[in-house]
Chain A
Amino acid sequence: MRGMSLIVQTVARLVAGMLFLFGCYIVLHGHLTPGGGFAGGVLIAAAYILVSLAFGSVENVEQHRYTFSSVFESMGGLGFVLLGLMGYVAGLDFLNNLWADYGTPLRLVSGGIIPLANVAISMKVGAGLFGIFLALGASRFVMKD
């Protein structure tokens, strides 16, 4: 993938970190304010895609990023299922909310497994979308006409 012009690269250098941090904020405060795992995960994927588009990459780096995204997507999906299975370990139902009565509401540590499930979904969505972007936009996959 070729990089873009100097203007785009400078703006991307300024914006990408803030975009990533804002995505993390949306994910971690998903049980308190509007947002959640899906929106935050898409924002995190957007930060990675911005860097990939602006600075370009060579084929080895793309392969490396692709492996990274597929591993993270699988970790997110498995994490959500494991959170559900923890209900069985505690003697409750699948996806039952453990520790919902600990922690005061409106604080960051509250809501039982809801913040953890948000983190798992954000990993799944973000890494999945970044993987789709690499598959559609990266040079190794492009059809020749």
Chain B
Amino acid sequence: MKLKENIAISDSGYLFNPSTGESFIVNPLGMEVLQFVKKGKSFEEISREILTRYNVDPITFEKDYQDFIHQLRQYLLIGSDE
């Protein structure tokens, strides 16, 4: 899974899709996950990182992660062929 290359991500958590003109704001945890996704890390790798750093159980994280990825896909921030 890969973020579209042209998506602009600022450190503040502001995303801008130059193809559609849409902008989004993600919270700090979303930003962390996005940075992992951007680096091409797998779900297992991301899960391992997040579970080490935060007090969250694996099932809750997986559910939230999938919701988040679904939203990224819905807003065309992830390539449709991914």
Partners in one complex: no
Please report B residues at the A interface, Cβ cutoff 8 Å.
none
